[in-house]
A = this chain, B = another copy of it.
Amino acid sequence: MSAINQGGGRRTGVWLVGARGSVATTTVAGALAVRSGLAGTGGMVTALRPFADAGLPDLGELVFGGHDTSQVPWAKKAEELASAGVLPASLLPALGGELAAAEREVRPAPVSGHPGRDADQITADLLAFAERHGLDRTVVVHVASTEPATVSHPAHRSVDALQAALKAGQDVLAPSSVYAWAAMSAGCSYVDFTPSTGARLPALAELAAQQRVPYAGRDGKTGETLVKSVLAPMFAVRNLAVTSWSGVNLLGGGDGATLADPAACASKAASKSAVLEHALGYRPAGPVLIEDVPELGDAKTAWDLVTFSGFLGARMQMQITWQGLDSALAAPLVLDLARLTARAHQAGHHGALEDLGFFFKDPHGQGPHDLPAQWQRLQAFAATLSAAPSPAPAA
């Protein structure tokens, strides 16, 4: 803990992997806007009543930074997001100065081709960030492009094996896992907001235990899957058999382009399917399709056709069209997760935060996949946090 914050214990870093992407830009611009009183907290779950006394860090106590391979300035990205309807155009002039200041903490993502060396660089960047800002703790949030599924490797089984492989220069970790390794090594907590592997390896679970840091994930539940996680339980409690559930997701933006890669798409689709199987107890027929339509930009359209069978086998159906702005849906959840994970870290939680399943398509642990049950568990977690000793707010 730095001298600066001796009485506080509240300065929290939020380090965004993929810092120049749509989600990260919306997260930072949004946090600045909310704390300046230029926008409300709509979309932020932690702004709801159950979290009022949970001792979460305020938005004003968050300090942002991050890594990205892109060089596109936030101001330019913010303009794109404004023309897509994600950010209000009126916000840009007001935020310009603060955004430019925050942007000084965006570092080039190391891509040496040597995971061990990259990890060391990331750890160093995180420690220097904490030092510069006198941070009590930092949450690293992965919001970069979805990667193909990781191929299993013996080095994933333990901290020692992984450390040896990295030292030997072996290319055994996907970038998202390199960040998880580096974050935990620096004593930071880690959140997987994408379906990439990230912290989901035995060696990283072991490292989190050693370092006593918490982690959460995976794959933020922002749109179609969110809807599935309330509709599927509805069919279940009404004893209506879902005979098929087909869905197509049309999206542009960077995410659309990434998911046009069949390997990345497959890991996303797998993550999206899990919710039905868990909520219904079986996997209904029907595909989960993800297609890149660049013309749609950040506005994602998902259409689902659900056929179901009722009393005496009567055949019925429903269709859902969801038209969301993915970054606008994701960004407030990134802030929620940063706040909750930082507070959990401070309150002594470590390892996988299974109580945060509410936020994810493919949550850690054996917890529920239906939203109402996840919401109950999250509220109970908030109550636990409320009861935990809380540092005095920053002076």
User: Measuring CB to CB, which residues of chain A are less than 8 angstroms from any residue of chain B?
Assistant: 26, 29-30, 33, 39-45, 47-48, 85-89, 91, 226-227, 230-231, 233-234, 237-241, 243-244, 246, 248, 250, 285-287, 289, 291, 293-296, 301, 303, 305, 307, 309-325, 328-329, 331-332, 358, 370-373, 375
A285 CB contact (under 8 Å) in B230, B294, B301, B322: B294
Extra contacts besides A286-B291, A303-B319 (19): CB < 8 Å: A43-B239, A43-B310, A45-B239, A48-B237, A88-B312, A230-B231, A230-B233, A230-B234, A233-B372, A243-B295, A248-B303, A287-B291, A289-B291, A310-B324, A310-B329, A311-B332, A312-B328, A316-B329, A320-B321
Select the residue from A42, A323, A331, A371 with max chain B CB neighbours within 10 A: A42
Q: Are B250 and A286 in contact (CB under 8 A)?
A: yes
Chain B residues within 8 Å of A243, by CB: 295
Select the residue from A88, A250, A316, A328 with max chain B CB neighbours within 10 A: A316
**Closest B residue to A231 using CB positions:** B230
**Closest B residue to A83 using CB positions:** B89
Closest Cβ of chain B: how far from A143's Cβ, in Å? 14
In the assembly, how many copies of this chain are there? 4
Select the residue from A243, A294, A303 with max chain B CB neighbours within 10 A: A303
Can you list 21 residue pairs at the A/B interface with Cβ under 8 Å?
A29-B312, A39-B311, A40-B313, A42-B310, A43-B239, A43-B311, A43-B312, A85-B314, A86-B314, A226-B234, A231-B231, A233-B372, A237-B358, A243-B295, A248-B248, A248-B289, A250-B286, A285-B293, A303-B319, A311-B328, A316-B324
Q: Are B318 and A227 in contact (CB under 8 A)?
A: yes
Q: Are A246 and B291 in contact (CB under 8 A)?
A: yes
Q: How far is the CA of A193 from the CA of B347 in the complex (A)?
A: 50
Q: Are B239 and A42 in contact (CB under 8 A)?
A: yes
Closest Cβ of chain B: how far from A303's Cβ, in Å? 5
Q: How far is the CA of A331 from the CA of B313 in the complex (A)?
A: 13
Chain B residues within 8 Å of A295, by CB: 243-244, 285-286, 307
Chain B residues within 8 Å of A358, by CB: 237
Select the residue from A39, A287, A314 with max chain B CB neighbours within 10 A: A314
With A231-B230, A248-B289 already in contact, the answer to whether A312 and B372 are too (CB < 8 A) is no
**Closest B residue to A287 using CB positions:** B291
Closest Cβ of chain B: how far from A249's Cβ, in Å? 10
Q: How far is the CA of A289 from the CA of B56 in the complex (A)?
A: 44
* CB-based closest 6 A-B pairs: A372-B372, A314-B328, A43-B311, A244-B295, A319-B321, A311-B332
Closest Cβ of chain B: how far from A23's Cβ, in Å? 11
A310 CB contact (under 8 Å) in B287, B296, B314, B328: B328
Q: Are B296 and A240 in contact (CB under 8 A)?
A: no
Closest Cβ of chain B: how far from A123's Cβ, in Å? 31
Q: How far is the CA of A89 from the CA of B29 in the complex (A)?
A: 21
Q: Are A312 and B39 in contact (CB under 8 A)?
A: yes
Q: Are B86 and A312 in contact (CB under 8 A)?
A: yes
With A43-B240, A237-B375, A239-B42 already in contact, the answer to whether A311 and B329 are too (CB < 8 A) is yes
Closest Cβ of chain B: how far from A307's Cβ, in Å? 6
Q: Are A39 and B91 in contact (CB under 8 A)?
A: no
A87 CB contact (under 8 Å) in B287, B312, B328, B371: B312
Closest Cβ of chain B: how far from A172's Cβ, in Å? 33
Chain B residues within 8 Å of A239, by CB: 41-45, 47-48, 332
Q: Are A321 and B323 in contact (CB under 8 A)?
A: no
A42 CB contact (under 8 Å) in B293, B303, B309, B321: B309
Q: How far is the CA of A47 from the CA of B41 in the complex (A)?
A: 43
